Amino acid sequence: MTTKQTPLLDLKFHREVSISPAQIWEGWTNPATLMKWFCPRPWKVIECDIDLRPGGIFRTVMQSPEGKNMPENLGTFLALEPLKRLVWTNALGTDFRPRPKPIDESLGFFFVVDLRLTPLLNGGTSYAVNVMHQDAAGRQVHEEMGFQEGWGIALDQLVELMTPIDGQH
Amino acid sequence: MTTKQTPLLDLKFHREVSISPAQIWEGWTNPATLMKWFCPRPWKVIECDIDLRPGGIFRTVMQSPEGKNMPENLGTFLALEPLKRLVWTNALGTDFRPRPKPIDESLGFFFVVDLRLTPLLNGGTSYAVNVMHQDAAGRQVHEEMGFQEGWGIALDQLVELMTPIDGQH
């Protein structure tokens, strides 16, 4: 076969969390919910468009702590299995239109995010992400941007958002 | 909204043909059938892999009239609506893994093919293709490769393949 795994192009993030697949799915697919956790504070997501179908838009705009809006992050969904799997990419836009090559590789690079959710016996979720890059340079830039830390902090924020507050006075 | 049609990046091919959507679907999705029509003779398709699911492989190898094998054409399916719509791209491979940037833009460029089939009252099919390119250079190379003529000849070959021979002595 011609296609094989190329882990050198991938960044993986895996954690078991206490919230359910349904809560995580809600966090990823409802724009109003996504905006509350998707990027590590004090950064904010200030705009979010989600059209939850293969070929539908997935768009976010982030804002720096100083109030500066970043260029939009634009992509599309490739595969959707409710509560189980969500795949999206920034290499294609709405209706699968190829997106232009990033002008500056240090800022822009193409990737595909494959998120898999598996229910745990304790009611929680195994949250496993594989981010596949077009080339080693893109993977490296993404890693050096703080991929592991960023995904971890964001997921913490989602868990916190979805966890009822009790015992806190 | 941020995403709009960008026809300057597209190549379109449309024709009404006498064969049915089912016959065209068979031609596009059964490797043994695809190999008989998919590239204009005397070129040949000598290998074809099709895994008909979003994220499944779509791979062909063409051979020149002189018997030289070309580099494989590798891609994946993005959307499949049996007898109605088939979308595939060479920008992603199996399981949506991003493919490396082409080394030489004059030979390699990324595109997405969106093929739509509509049944006609006479039993035939409206065969409408939109090929979306990443940039104007890719579109131009594709056009100058003989996009319109090539798709036309190939479709003629499919119609001929699917049309019973009678009245020919």
Q: Which residues are A20's β-sheet partners?
A: none
pLDDT for the residue B32 = 98
Alpha-carbon gap, residue A58 to B75, rounded angstroms: 22
Q: Looking at the predicted structure, is the pLDDT value of residue A6 above 80?
A: no
Q: Looking at the predicted structure, is the pLDDT value of residue B169 above 50?
A: no
Alpha-carbon gap, residue B110 to A58, rounded angstroms: 21
pLDDT for the residue A5 = 52
Residues of chain A in Cβ contact (below 8 Å) with chain B: 2-3, 6, 9, 54-55, 57, 59, 72, 74, 78-79, 87, 89, 91-101, 110-112, 114, 132-135
pLDDT (tens digit, 9 = 90+) per residue, B5-62? 556 899 999 999 999 999 999 999 999 999 999 999 999 999 999 999 999 999 999 9
Edge-to-edge strand ranges of the sheet holding A57-63: A10-17, A125-133, A111-119, A85-89, A73-81, A57-63, A44-50
Confidence of residue A4 (pLDDT cuts 50, 70, 90): low
Mean pLDDT across chain B:
93
Q: DSSP readout, B88-151?
A: EESSB-GGGPBPPPPS-TTT---EEEEEEEEE-TTS-EEEEEEEEESSHHHHHHHHHTTHHHHH
Residues of chain B in Cβ contact (below 8 Å) with chain A: 2-3, 6, 9, 54-55, 57, 59, 72, 74, 78-79, 87, 89, 91-101, 110-112, 114, 132-135
User: What are A8's two structure tokens?
Assistant: 């050198």
More confident residue, B11 or A106: B11
pLDDT for the residue B102 = 77
Q: Looking at the predicted structure, is the pLDDT value of residue B162 above 60?
A: yes
Residue A108 to chain B, least CA–CA distance (Å): 14
More confident residue, B167 or B143: B143
- B-chain CB neighbours of A135 within 8 Å are 100-101
Confidence of residue A1 (pLDDT cuts 50, 70, 90): very low
| HSE (side-chain half, CA atoms, 13 Å) at B62 | 12
pLDDT for the residue A107 = 65
pLDDT for the residue A103 = 73
Alpha-carbon gap, residue B130 to B9, rounded angstroms: 10
Q: Which residue has the tokens 């064969």?
A: B19
pLDDT (tens digit, 9 = 90+) per residue, A44-89? 999 999 999 999 999 999 999 999 999 999 999 999 999 999 999 9
Q: Which of B76, B142, B93 is nearest to A134 (CA)?
A: B93
SS3 A56: coil
> Measured at the alpha carbon of residue A24, what is the angle toward residues A20 and A25, in degrees to the nearest 5?
110
pLDDT (tens digit, 9 = 90+) per residue, A108-167? 899 999 999 999 999 999 999 999 999 999 999 999 999 999 999 999 999 999 998 875
More confident residue, A164 or A2: A164
The ipTM of this complex is 0.90
Query: Are A84 and A21 contacting, i.e. CB atoms less than 8 angstroms apart?
Result: yes
pLDDT for the residue A128 = 98
